[in-house]
C-alpha cells in the first residue's frame, strides 16, 4: 500500500527523515513524497494530480504558510534554480515543463535582477499583497482543487497545517469545510512549541523531531480518518 505526501520543505528529505517516512512506518504504507521547498500551496495542486494518477491508497497534504503566493515563471519552464538538486516531484520551482515562482516579502527584486529584470516590487508586495485577506481565500481554493482531484479519483485526502491551525486562517464563510474535508486540528508548529522541541538553526526540524510529531500527534489524527 502507498500514500502520497505533499508539502513544502517541511515535507522534504533535506533535513533528515521527514514526517512521511515516520508516518509510513506507522501506517505500514510506502510514502510517495512530493515536496516543494519554499513554495506556496497552489504549487501542490499539480503534484497532487500527478500522485493521484498513480492511484495511491491515501494522500496527506501538509498546508504551508498562506502568504506564500505561487505564480508561473517562464524562465523556469525548462528548469529552476533548484532543479539540479531535486527530483521533479521535489523541485520547488519547476514541475512538468512549467516554471513556478513563490513570492516573498523581502527578496524578489534580487532574483528578478539575475533574470535580467529591474524591479522594485518588494515593498509593494510586503505591504499590499502578503497582508491581504485574499491570501487565506487563495489557500482555501488550493485545498478545494486538491480535494476535487482526489474525490474524482476516489482517493481519501487528509489535510494538516504546519504553521497555523485551520481555524486561524480559513474564512468563516468557508466554515462548511469542517464538515466536508478531513482537516487535522492544531498545527505542527504548536506541537513543537507545546512539547518544547527545538528546531534546527534554519527553523526546520530534524529526523527525531519529525518522529515525535508523528508519534505524538499526526499519526493519531490520520488513523482517525483512515479508520472512519
pLDDT digit string (tens) for the chain, length 228 residues: 999 999 999 999 999 999 999 999 999 999 999 999 999 999 999 999 999 999 999 999 999 999 999 999 999 999 887 787 789 999 999 999 999 999 988 889 988 998 899 889 999 999 999 999 999 999 999 999 999 999 999 999 999 999 999 999 999 999 999 999 999 999 999 999 999 999 999 999 999 999 999 999 999 999 888 766
Give the containing element (helix H, strand E) for 59. strand 58-63
Q: Give me the residues paired with residue 61 across strands.
A: 6, 159
What does pTM read for this prediction? Answer: 0.95
Strands 157-161 and 2-7: unpaired
- CB hemisphere CA count around 26 (13 angstroms): 20
- pLDDT given for residue 227 in this prediction: 63
Ramachandran angles phi, psi of 24, nearest 5°: -60, -40
Give the Cα separation of 33 and 153 in Å (integer).
Answer: 19
- Supply the DSSP string of 208-226, one letter for each residue: HHHHHHIIIIIHHHHHHHH
- pLDDT given for residue 129 in this prediction: 95
Question: Cα dihedral sign for 203, 209, 215, 219?
Answer: positive
User: What are 216's three cell numbers?
Assistant: 505524538
Give the containing element (helix H, strand E) for 61. strand 58-63
Amino acid at each position: 500500500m502507498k500514500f502520497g505526501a505533499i508539502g513544502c520543505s517541511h515535507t522534504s528529505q533535506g533535513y533528515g527523515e521527514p514526517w512521511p517516512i515516520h508516518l509510513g512506518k506507522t501506517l505500514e504504507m510506502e510514502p510517495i513524497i512530493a515536496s516543494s521547498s519554499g513554495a506556496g500551496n497552489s504549487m501542490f495542486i499539480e503534484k497532487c494530480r500527478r500522485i493521484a494518477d498513480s492511484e495511491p491508497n491515501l494522500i496527506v497534504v501538509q498546508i504551508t504558510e498562506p502568504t506564500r503566493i505561487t505564480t508561473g515563471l517562464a524562465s523556469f519552464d525548462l528548469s529552476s534554480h533548484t532543479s539540479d538538486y531535486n527530483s521533479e516531484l521535489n523541485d520547488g520551482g519547476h514541475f512538468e515543463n512549467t516554471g513556478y515562482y513563490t513570492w516573498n516579502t523581502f527578496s524578489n527584486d534580487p532574483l528578478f535582477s539575475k533574470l535580467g529584470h529591474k524591479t522594485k516590487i518588494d515593498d509593494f508586495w510586503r505591504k499590499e499583497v502578503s497582508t491581504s485577506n485574499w491570501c487565506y481565500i487563495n489557500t482555501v481554493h488550493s485545498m478545494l482543487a486538491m480535494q476535487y482531484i482526489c474525490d474524482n479519483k476516489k482517493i481519501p485526502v487528509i489535510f494538516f497545517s504546519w504553521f497555523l491551525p485551520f481555524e486561524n486562517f480559513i474564512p468563516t464563510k468557508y466554515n462548511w469545510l469542517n464538515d466536508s474535508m478531513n482537516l487535522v486540528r492544531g498545527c505542527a508548529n504548536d506541537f513543537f512549541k507545546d512539547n518544547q522541541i527545538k528546531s534546527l538553526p534554519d527553523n526546520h526540524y530534524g529526523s527525531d523531531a519529525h518522529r515525535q510529531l508523528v508519534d505524538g500527534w499526526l499519526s493519531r489524527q490520520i488513523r482517525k480518518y483512515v479508520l472512519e
